[in-house]
Amino acid sequence: ATAQLDDLIAKAELYSKIKLSGGETAKTLISPLKAAPELLIRSPSQDHGGDHRHRRTEREEDEELLSETKHITSSVQRFESSPFYVKGGEMRDYQVRGLNWMIQLQNDNINGILADEMGLGKTLQTISMLGYMKHCRHKSGPSLIIVPKSTLSNWMNEIKRWVPTLRPVALIGMQEERNQVIRDEIMGKEWDVLVTSYEICIREKAMLRKFHYIYLVIDEAHRIKNEKSKLSDIVRQFRSQNRLLITGTPLQNNLHELWALLNFLMPDLFSSSELFDDMFKTNSEQEQNLIQRLHAVLKPFILRRIKADVEKRLPPKKEIKIYIGLSKMQRDLYTKILMKDIDLVNSMLSANASKADRVRLLNILMQLRKCCNHPYLFDGLEPGPPYTTDMHLIENCGKMVLLDKLLARLKEQGSRVLIFSQMTRLLDILEDYCLWRGHEYFRLDGSTRHEDRQVSIFNNFSLAKHGFYTIFLGKLPAELFRGFWV
């Protein structure tokens, strides 16, 4: 495995040297002493009738020198400040550097991963790159951006805000709505950027395959970390000149997932997942050094910044952990769940636990999690019928006791609050609570229609003043929640 990894690293180093030196023309600039042995093997077409003393003519040499001079003197366009085509405000310094990084990659025909921490403006940096392609490279499109459904309307608004000269089209909605968009705005029409969701990308794959994109952008790149998933397979079929992955999570945690992303970006270089996985099966010191070498090689392809390093003007985020006790109803329920499968819990302490036992244990953990969130998530525990919203909704849940006190204080301060939950039925309980307490709120979850979602986000957020609460399931752009208590 070590020899195989050495070979991969050597190829990656050579690949990055060739690409970052300017593409195919740079191959002639590699020193023969540093080139891989196979590059020094002469093909029959390179032989000249047995004349091993063949020399270039004066004209050939002049042309080569002129070509090298042009390559050395030609510089990639770089911006020192916010580009002229960005109209919605001024880009931060680190965002301009991110744009310059993408310009360098595009110039060298390399695909990359923009992995800045959440909240640093990956959306803006990407949009500014599409604006660069239109205004500086005179390539107006088409480009395809695949995003989560919950962020699609934000992408559309950000494009119109920052680079209003771009012509975006949103492909979303039911089949009839999509057919109208395809007929009236996409096929045979002039547009620069098509923004769609993962789900619609799968459903409309045949239509999307008809285009050759200037840029193929995937937001939340971890959605293709499994190379065998349907979405991952489909996006690999799209033709594109450049590819950009966007993610806010570090990439070093899982090497196979890293390979899946690299395979999407550079399939010729990272072609075999089995070979890649075999190289990292052990944790020997030698292989850890090789992993560090591989990360160094990948550095040109991945840009990762965190707020603490680049965004000095923002105050540090405050995280407060509050440990809450269970109510009497929760304690009794918690004990009952554990005692019901106590034999299984004890058996898991041994090394002989079966796969089926582990699955059962995960189910127990889910039940315990529901118990900690609210006991009314279990059928038959809520008093009734008749079912009424009263103090019992708060008193029977430790989290609700604290939440009730926190919201009362934050409402007095005029703060805005964001409450996340992955459990839809818990959102039902919180909605009943807000109605009972008279808290102004709106709710967004997976069942919210795209049109209603857009109206709620961009109207309610701007109109809300005091005592405003939102309950939301899933993910929304971080810029919408600046200044919120979460």
Domains of the chain plus CATH, in order, are 2-42+54-73 (no CATH), 93-310 (3.40.50.10810), 328-481 (3.40.50.300)
Whether 156 has a pLDDT exceeding 70, the answer reads yes
Q: Are strands 239-246 and 212-218 parallel, antiparallel or unpaired?
A: parallel
Maximum distance among all Cα pairs of the chain, rounded to whole angstroms: 101
pTM above 0.95, yes or no: no
Residues 6 or more apart in contact with residue 217 via CB below 8 angstroms: 126, 143, 144, 145, 146, 243, 244, 245, 246
Q: How far is CA 224 from CA 200, 245, 253, 386, in A?
A: 15, 10, 15, 48
What pLDDT is stored for residue 51 in this prediction? 41
Cβ–Cβ under 8 Å, residues 347 and 364: no
What pLDDT is stored for residue 13 in this prediction? 62
What is the DSSP code string of 318-381? P------PPPHHHHHHHHHHHHHTHHHHHHTTSTT--HHHHHHHHHHHHHHHHHHH-GGGSTT-
What pLDDT is stored for residue 266 in this prediction? 79
Whether 225 has a pLDDT exceeding 70, the answer reads yes
What pLDDT is stored for residue 420 in this prediction? 81
When mean pLDDT is compared across 21-30, 34-43, 187-196, 251-260, the lowest value belongs to 34-43
> In the predicted model, what is the mean pLDDT of residues 411-438?
85
What pLDDT is stored for residue 486 in this prediction? 63
Whether 65 has a pLDDT exceeding 60, the answer reads no
In angstroms, rounded to a whole number, what is the distance separating the alpha carbons of residues 374 and 182? 45
Whether 464 has a pLDDT exceeding 70, the answer reads no
Closest CA to 14 of 43, 40, 42, 34: 34
In angstroms, rounded to a whole number, what is the distance separating the alpha carbons of residues 475 and 148? 8
Cβ–Cβ under 8 Å, residues 121 and 92: yes
Structure tokens at 416: 């805005």
DSSP type of residue 23: G
When mean pLDDT is compared across 303-317, 340-354, 392-406, 421-435, the lowest value belongs to 340-354
What sign has the CA pseudo-torsion 155, 161, 167, 170? positive
pLDDT band at 253; cut points 50, 70, 90: low
What pLDDT is stored for residue 291 in this prediction? 62
What pLDDT is stored for residue 198 in this prediction? 93
Whether 381 has a pLDDT exceeding 80, the answer reads yes
Whether 15 has a pLDDT exceeding 80, the answer reads no
